[in-house]
Chain A
Amino acid sequence: MTCPSPPSPSEQRLLCGRALVLGDHVNADLLHPPAFFSLDVTRLRAGFLAGLGRETDASSDGTTWIVVAGRNFGCGSSRETTVDALRRGGVVAVVAPSFGRIFRRTAAALGVPCFVSQGSLAEVLPDEELVLDAALACLVAGGGARRIALEAPDPFLEAVHAAGGLLEWLGHRRS
């Protein structure tokens, strides 16, 4: 499967990125420690994954990432800076067996879709190239060798994602 990078507007349902593999119960404080809470984008980006000791990850070189995580991803704090830092760090989608409720909603609201995996994610290798086909609800790894089924997103979250975020969706609805 090939993937344009970055996806053109007509291909937005095809998301590409390197695998950022994380574990179970990775909470908001680990993804973006509270010390990095800021309205300043530079400071915000500096906190990308800082709680996990991953400060050296390429978060500003244009690399796009698909987070492949364990259970209950993003649990804990509601600080929206966590999702914003992931987005600004190049994360285009998150796949996990389950998500912290607020994280999943905030990610949708800011245009970063979260997908619930149906199959095992254990075979996804760190840093390998992934393609996420949102239309087919499928994560493709290993150059097409491995395909992992994803739950079809709820129509509301899908509509929010298609609009580019919650406020954009509300704007469309109002108009």
Chain B
Amino acid sequence: MPVASTLVEKILAPRSRGPVVPGSRYHAVEVDLVLAHDATFTLGIERIERLGLPILTPEKLLFAADHFAPPSSPERAAILGRYVTFLGERALPRDQLFRGISHQLAVEDPRVRPGRVVVGADSHTTMVGALGCFATGFGTTDILGVLATGTAFLEIPPSIELILRGVLPTGIEGKDLALAMLAALGEDGALGHALELHDHTGGSIDFDARCAITNQAVEAGATSAAFVPDAVTAGILHLRDGGAPPDLDRWAPDAGANYARSLVIDVASLPPLVARPGSPADVVPVDAVAGEPIHQAFVGSCAGGRLTELEAAASILRGRRVAPGVRLVVTPASEQVWRAASRSGALGTLSEAGALVTNPSCGACGGIDKGLLAAGELCISTSNRNGPGRMGHRDGRIMLASAATVAASALTGRVTDPRTLARSQLASWDVPR
């Protein structure tokens, strides 16, 4: 009788070449796609050259320029230049440079489909699991190992089942769900595990929301996070590729599959949430911190810079103006997102409201540029981390929240529950799904 398998077991078992060394928990797993970007990959170039390391064929590579894009200092220009030059010298693909954040580009790439194994030189590579993949991040040296061998050395993680049920209320975003997940798991509640997410909400959690959730799973320590492929997955594949594989059901976990733990989140009762400065798992309803003055509002990053988030912010700010003195920074996650938001009118609306709209990149998240904090400043942000020093000075503070909450806060200059605006000021508030 066949063994009942989880989604992760179905993906990894056929690709494992067995333990890396006898007796090890680590298996050599064949990889379909490797993601890299200007910041972390450049740390490995000297070793590639000195040791003569081989590099996988271009069909399995996606190189982005997202961190220092464009560079904010001469040193970072030099790092970026080294990267771009190296790729050119080795005839490695440069067609995706400056087009967005590496893992956002991956979910836009037809090579990434359910059941694939994707690794990236960035911790938020987990996001790619929104498409039903096994996707995980590594440091530079491990990525050099993958490029040289075509395999990742992985502990095959046991899975945690996370069931989302109820119907998502209007105005509650993927970010609120991600924060609810982090509140339930804590900063290490998924350490050493893969998360498998089951959407039982009747399709109310769209693909952008799924990306926000799988992105932030690494903040609970998860090795990977994947939505079990379903009608939403088929829908996004149709939109992207003009069709979806007919056998998506094959990735459904078997009845009786062995999960280390099972959690249920009822999404119907979720209010807008905020992670207070210091920890992404220190989550409270926005009401608990409402009224605190902000200095910056940020809609962007791989966690919260997609079309759904940009349109949510635009719907709050349409015909209005950001509070005097507050800077609202908007950084789309990719060129594709930027163009879609331009076509939909969201970028124009945000610009008219006083937003500082930047090119697709990581931007302020990661303390890179285009929106860093001084000591004592408070930023409310759709990005993914809020520890000291993440976005500039270590005494700058970051709250994580949905795009609607960020936009409402930018409008009033204080942390604001978007539902209060909807009632008193914005009768037509209608956040698209």
Contacts and interface: CB of A to CB of B under 8 A. Distances in A.
Given A33-B389, A39-B75, 14 more contacts: A25-B187, A33-B394, A34-B366, A39-B43, A39-B82, A43-B75, A77-B366, A78-B123, A78-B138, A78-B139, A80-B139, A109-B142, A156-B24, A166-B144
6 closest A-B pairs by CB:
A106-B139, A109-B141, A156-B24, A34-B367, A72-B188, A33-B389
Interface string B9-23: 000000000011111
Interface string A1-41: 00000000000000000000000010101100111011110
Given A39-B79, A78-B122, A102 B138 contact: yes
Contacts of B75: 38-40, 43
A89 interface: no
Contact of B47 (A76, A81, A167): A167
A79 B40 contact: yes
B54 to A, nearest CB: 10
Given A106-B142, A110-B141, A100 B367 contact: no
Interface of B: 19-26, 39-40, 42-43, 47, 51, 53, 75, 78-79, 82, 121-123, 137-142, 144-145, 148-149, 153, 187-188, 191-192, 218-219, 221, 223, 279, 366-368, 385, 387-390, 392, 394
Contacts of A102: 123, 137-139
A81 B67 CA distance: 15
A39 B42 contact: yes
Contact of B141 (A30, A80, A100, A155): A80
A105 B367 contact: no
B53 A35 contact: no
B42 A109 contact: no
A54 B153 CA distance: 34
Contacts, number: 134
Contacts of B21: 155-156, 159
A102 to B, nearest CB: 6
Interface of A: 25, 27, 29-30, 33-35, 37-40, 43, 50-51, 53, 71-72, 75-81, 83-84, 98, 100-102, 105-106, 109-110, 154-157, 159, 165-167, 170-171
Contact of B20 (A27, A50, A51, A156): A156
A164 to B, nearest CB: 12
17 contacts: A30-B387, A30-B388, A39-B43, A39-B78, A51-B387, A71-B188, A76-B385, A83-B139, A84-B43, A105-B139, A106-B139, A109-B139, A110-B141, A156-B19, A165-B141, A167-B145, A171-B51
A135 to B, nearest CB: 17
A170 B149 contact: yes
> Which among A29, A38, A84, A106 has the highest number of chain B CB atoms within 10 Å?
A29
B39 A37 contact: yes
B141 A35 contact: no
